[in-house]
Structure 1
Amino acid sequence: MSFSIKGRTAIVTGAANGIGLAVARHFVRAGANVMMADSDEAALDREVAELSADSERVRMFAGDLRQKLAVANLVSATVDAFDGVDILVNAARQIGPTAPLDPDDTSVADLLEQNLTLPLRLSQSIARRFVKQAEGLSDDDDRIIGTIVNLSSIAGRRAHPELLGYGMANAALDQMTRSMAVALAPHRIRMNGVCVGSVLSNSLNLWLRDHGAARAAILGATPMGRIANASEVPDTVQYLASDASGFVTGQIIVIDGGRTLLDAGAVAAH
């Protein structure tokens, strides 16, 4: 089987920074057509300009994908630009604290909306597009017609009260990945996940700036003794998006330097 995604069309959300941007850049280098989606239009403009040598294979969509109309417009814009879509990477993530005992704290609902409802709604929309694109294929044609990869966090596997909403959302996203994979399999659509530990991103850098002792605590809780770079994630995403993983669905691959193998105590997960 081939790891190639050359000539395929991918939508990558959260593509203005962090892991989403790393995935988008990697996919472009791998020869894919990429629709970079994010709410940060200025950052998208800068990134697309840097990829100007590949301008025919890169487009951008700026909008709030929590809105149903924006999701529909993103799918339409991708199809208009590239005549279809083959891969969805749900990499848009929002991290924030929760006050667990404060009934007026709305962060749980907000974080569930961004980290769970958004990828669910977009996955459903893309899955319908995959099925439409497959109309006319013979019944004995068992080719995969589309793949979806969800980015989640080990915060969903550890108990961190200060990250209640974020942890809940990521645990639910992993379960969504497994359940949706079963629902989509008869339609020849695969869904898998990549669950990451601490990865150097804008949000983590800001968090470490405000929590001076956190870096040492994270390193001490990680057997490999370091924080990952965003560039270490895209190869795994490409594997799950390619034919090399053609019989893999509903699986969550963990990239955390061994962190979830240990009792990390109350160290914050990002």
Structure 2
Amino acid sequence: MEKIFENKVAIVTGGSFGIGQATALAFARRGAKVVVADWIEDNEQATLRQIKAEGGEALFVKCDVSNAGDITDMIDKTFSAYGRLDFAFNNAGIEGVSALTHECTQDNWERTLAINLTGIWLCMKHELPHMLKQGKGVIVNCASIAGLIGFPGLPAYVASKHAVVGLTKTAALENAKLGVRINAVCPGVIRTSMVDRITGKDKVAEQQFISMEPVGRMGEPAEVAEAVVWLCSDAASFVTGHAMPVDGGWTAS
């Protein structure tokens, strides 16, 4: 694989599992040094071990993205280790507790928005000054097809992801002439632990999701990762402020 990101540095939040893990690996395979950030420290360090086994370079930073102190610590450790920041995939998020709008608890609402929305804002707040100082950088935020359409029973999650799309567009316009591009990916039903929690790994529930996918299957984390690294590449140099569905055609149907 061509090392198009050699001598570049990428941060991936929520990088221990799922889409984040796949994206950290995709960055590393293209030559980037990767900071894997997650509030759960994978005991087996699977992401780091795989990156290093393939000859890449990475470090792990424990980080709760809803905590501003953790974000500044993540940025400080990135610069202490690598001296720069070129790419950020702000991916960390939770689905929250399923409930109808009038039954959603305030605790669930506040926790879901704190991680899914405030977390992305905090990441950009502390990533952007360094990228602007360099005069170049790319940020990709992880939204969802739930940021483009509604889903009954997930009011906090849907609200947070719609807000991520709006925040992404605003930040993209603010920085469009300053060398920093900002986009979002909007994954559909991707085979991750989050989907497993929603379906309970029940085959009937899984099939219901699959039946709504025009391509007839769930997506894989690596397929979202490929969209992220493309958005970060020079091939996407004229793309900013875009919320890209990676959803097998779900939102087109």
TM over 0.5: yes
Partner of 1:168: 159
Partner of 1:112: 113
TM-score (norm 1): 0.87
Partner of 2:103: 102
Q: Highest Rg: 1 or 2?
A: 1
User: In structure 2, what is the Cα distance between the partners aligned to 1:70 and 1:35?
Assistant: 14
Letter in 1 for 2:79: V
1:44, distance to aligned residue in structure 2 (A)? 6.8
Q: 1:44 to 1:89 in 2, by over 3 A?
A: farther
| Structure 1 unaligned residues grouped into runs of 5+ | 135-144, 263-270
1:160, distance to aligned residue in structure 2 (A)? 1.9
* Secondary structure of 1:89 counterpart: strand
Check whether the contact 2:65–2:122 (CA below 8 A) recurs between aligned residues. no
Deviations 1:181-203 (Å, cap 9, x if unpaired)?
Answer: 00112321110111110000111
Check whether the contact 1:5–1:241 (CA below 8 A) recurs between aligned residues. no
Letter in 2 for 1:58: A
Letter in 1 for 2:160: A
* Secondary structure of 1:11 counterpart: strand
User: In structure 2, what is the Cα distance between the partners aligned to 1:213 and 1:165?
Assistant: 25
Check whether the contact 1:3–1:238 (CA below 8 A) recurs between aligned residues. no
TM-score (norm 2): 0.92
Q: Does 1:213 align with 2:208?
A: no
Check whether the contact 1:4–1:243 (CA below 8 A) recurs between aligned residues. no
Check whether the contact 2:142–2:186 (CA below 8 A) recurs between aligned residues. yes
* Secondary structure of 1:150 counterpart: strand
Identity of matched residues, %? 28
User: In structure 2, what is the Cα distance between the partners aligned to 1:37 and 1:90?
Assistant: 10
How many residues align? The count is 251
User: In structure 2, what is the Cα distance between the partners aligned to 1:40 and 1:98?
Assistant: 25
Letter in 1 for 2:240: T
Q: Summarize the alignment of residues 220-259 of structure 1 with structure 2, pairs less than 5 Å apart.
A: 220-259=211-250
* Secondary structure of 2:31 counterpart: coil
User: In structure 1, what is the Cα distance between the partners aligned to 2:3 and 2:227?
Assistant: 10
* Secondary structure of 1:214 counterpart: helix
Check whether the contact 2:183–2:240 (CA below 8 A) recurs between aligned residues. yes
Q: C-alpha root-mean-square deviation of aligned residues, in Å?
A: 1.9
Question: Comparing both chains, which one has the higher relative contact order based on Cα–Cα distances under 8 Å and sequence gaps of 6 or more?
Answer: 1
Q: 1:102 to 1:125 in 2, by over 3 A?
A: same
User: In structure 2, what is the Cα distance between the partners aligned to 1:149 and 1:221?
Assistant: 26
